[in-house]
Amino acid sequence: MAGLKLSGLLSGFDWQSVVDQLMTIQATPVTRMENEQARNSQKASALTTLDTKLTALQTSSNALKDTSLYSKRTASSSVSGSTWSATAADATVASSYKIDVTQLATAALWNGGSNIGKTLDSTGTYPNASVTTLMSSLPTGVPVTAGSFTVNGKRIDVSLTDSLDTVLGNIETATGGTVTANYNETTDKIELRSSSAIVLGSGADSSNFLQAMRLANNGTQSIDSSSNLGTATASATLENARLNVPFSGQDTDGSGTFKINGASIDYNTKTDSLNSIISKINSSSAGVVAAYDSVNDRVVLSNKSTGDVGFSVEDVKGNLMGALKLSNSTGTLVAGKNALFSINDGGTLTSMSNTLDASAHGIAGLTVSVNSESKEIITVASDSAAAKSAINDFISKYNDVQSYIDTQTKITTTGSKVTTSVLSSNQEVVRWGSTLRSLAFGTLNSVSGTIKNLDSLGIGFTSDSSTLQITNSTKLDAALKTSTSDVAEFFSNSTSGFAKTLNTFFTSTVGNEYGTKGNLDRQIDSLTKANTSLDEQIAALESQLEQKRAILEASFQAMETAQSKTSSALAQLSKISSSS
């Protein structure tokens, strides 16, 4: 029976319950310490939350020190729905400016010479030159579309598989020979002749042949294409682009170089096309935009910027600019214009750009982009939105802190019953709330200007004297618009301003950005250390209790064993006595 652990199995005495009761009594200090730990954890949690809220208030308070909040500006036009745009940088002088634009700035153009491409491919001699090229590949500025067109009321059908010769012959056939149609290879034009006035087109036409051939009514019996028909082929390599001027001066492999406004651009007549040359110009540092005008068969350059400035075009190696008629001898400058304007009826000012800034009008910080020749009044005013938002954020964060302190420290009495909160006994937290109220509504006599307290801004305490609110929004708006420098001085003075005063309090409670801990953090650390110490005490006490339980259980087990042996001996004696 050694090691018997069934409580009272032989003795009938439930000693295990006695041991449990004794140990429960012995464990009372452990329960007390665990309850203390729970209270410490609740306090630490509440203080941690308060730390978060105070830090948020500190950040909001520091934001009020930003002087740019009070120097922001708006710029608006007197014209409803104005297409002008105006901006004012921080600290721009608040005023109204009458701007009268009498001329907009435009970009200069460099028009290359027309007809850089060859005439339509033809054979024979005038007036019966033959053009056998199909409509689908005829090198005209405007591609011909299939369908029909009308001459003197007669319909002529056009297919993309027709040659120009075929279509011209069909005109003569449809009109019964009253209209003759020939291609003049010398002038690169179509010539229509008749003994009476020729009438071209009708509302039923579905082909653009007449437009593509540049033929239009003139009320006479003789109509010619308005300009040359043949054009360059922009997508083909330069040596196959049908340019009138043959290439010269390039390397044997076709490499050449040209400059536009001093920007050097390389090319190759065997691999580059007119389209790729245009792309190279547009992506270069020349500051121009190039385009191919297929109607006039020319290349046009336009400055990316506006203003009365010129162009510089030159061939460095090879003659591509000459072949494209962009050289100084063949190109034509259409001068750009400077913007002309006046401010407040003053003298005429000029600007190369339609964006009128301080470099043009002398008003620091004001920029007005104009797109019409008109008069508008631009008003620069204080932009109080950002400052007001920062002030509202501070009020919100302040009220959040005060409400939390009130909730966590309040003590309520109902009859004889007193109810406390987690931090009711923490008088330092109560003092923090009181100190914050004093600082928030204190008067800062050492700051210059008319604003010396929150009341001057229309901000006051609520009826319970704990939280803040805007009591006079008109007063606040007026101060932010007309006394911005005073408001900035009140909030951001580096030695005695509102934010500086509060920051002293925050440094002592929640620390600073340099890692210095405040009183609140030290309280949390103290509670954490107390719980760590309690953990150690509880562990030691529980170890002692386990030893005591083991001793008690061993003693009662020994009693059970002894009683068992005694009972066995008595039974044996009884058996012997009965047998004798």
Instruction: Say whether pLDDT at 293 is over 50.
Output: yes
Q: Which of 19-23, 282-286, 540-544 shows the lowest mean pLDDT across its residues? A: 19-23
- The pLDDT score that the predictor gives to residue 335 is 94
State the pLDDT at residue 127: 53
* Chain-centre distance for alpha carbon 94: 28
HSE of 215, CA atoms in CB hemisphere, 13 A: 28
**pLDDT score for 8:** 47
Q: Which residue has the higher pLDDT, 376 or 46?
A: 376
Question: Which of these ranges, 172-176, 333-337, 568-572, has the smallest mean pLDDT?
Answer: 568-572
pLDDT for the residue 141: 87
Alpha-carbon distance 330 to 324, whole Å?
A: 9
pLDDT grade, residue 526 (50/70/90)?
confident
DSSP designation for 204: T
Q: How many CA atoms lie within 13 A of 31 on its CB side?
A: 6
Q: Answer whether 475's CB lies under 8 Å from 409's CB.
A: no
Contact 277, 256 (CB under 8 A): no
Return the domain boundaries, the chain.
41-70+385-521, 73-105+338-382, 142-224
**CA distances to 79, 105, 107, 308 from 101, in Å:** 14, 10, 17, 17
Q: What percent of the chain has pLDDT over 70?
A: 93
For 86-135, write each residue's pLDDT tens digit. Answer: 999 988 988 999 999 999 999 999 999 999 999 987 765 545 567 888 99
Q: What is the pLDDT of residue 126?
A: 44
- Residue 557, pLDDT above cutoff 80: no
CA atoms within 13 A on the CB side of 399: 16
Q: Per-residue pLDDT for 300 more than 70? A: yes
Question: Cα separations (Å) of 401 from 47, 120, 448, 467, 519?
Answer: 11, 87, 30, 9, 16
User: Torsion angle of alpha carbons 370, 376, 380, 384, nearest 10°?
Assistant: -90
Whether the CB-CB separation of 182 and 156 falls below 8 Å is answered with no
Q: From CA 291, how far away is CA 295, in angstroms rounded?
A: 12
Q: What is the pTM of this model?
A: 0.64
pLDDT on residue 239? 95
Secondary structure letter of residue 237 according to DSSP = B
At 1 the pLDDT is 38
Contact 167, 130 (CB under 8 A): no
- State how far the Cα of 312 lies from the Cα of 299, in Å rounded to an integer: 15
The model's confidence at residue 11, banded by pLDDT at 50, 70 and 90, is low
**CA nearest 205: which of 137, 153, 139, 167?**
153
- Which pLDDT tens digit goes with each residue over 228-281? 999 999 999 999 999 999 999 999 999 999 999 999 999 999 999 999 999 999
480-500 tens-digit pLDDT = 888 888 999 999 998 999 999
- With beta carbons less than 8 A apart as the criterion, state whether 454 and 441 touch: yes
Among 198-202, 276-280, 408-412, 548-552, the range scoring the smallest mean pLDDT is: 548-552
Q: How far apart are CA 58 and CA 134, in angstroms?
A: 82
Does position 3 have pLDDT exceeding 60, yes or no?
no
At residue 231, the 3 state secondary structure works out as: coil
Tell me the average pLDDT across 413-422: 81
Asked if pLDDT for residue 434 goes beyond 80, the answer is yes
Give the CA distances from residue 318 to residues 112, 236, 245, 258, in Å, rounded to whole numbers and listed in that order.
17, 19, 12, 8
The mean-pLDDT minimum among 14-28, 52-66, 454-468 falls in 14-28
Q: Average the pLDDT over 429-434 and give the result.
A: 92
Return the pLDDT at 135: 93
Q: 128: burial class by Cβ within 10 Å (0-12, 13-18, 19+)? A: exposed
pLDDT top residue among 172 and 543: 172
The dihedral region occupied by 287, where left means phi > 0, alpha psi between -120 and 50, and beta the remainder, is: left
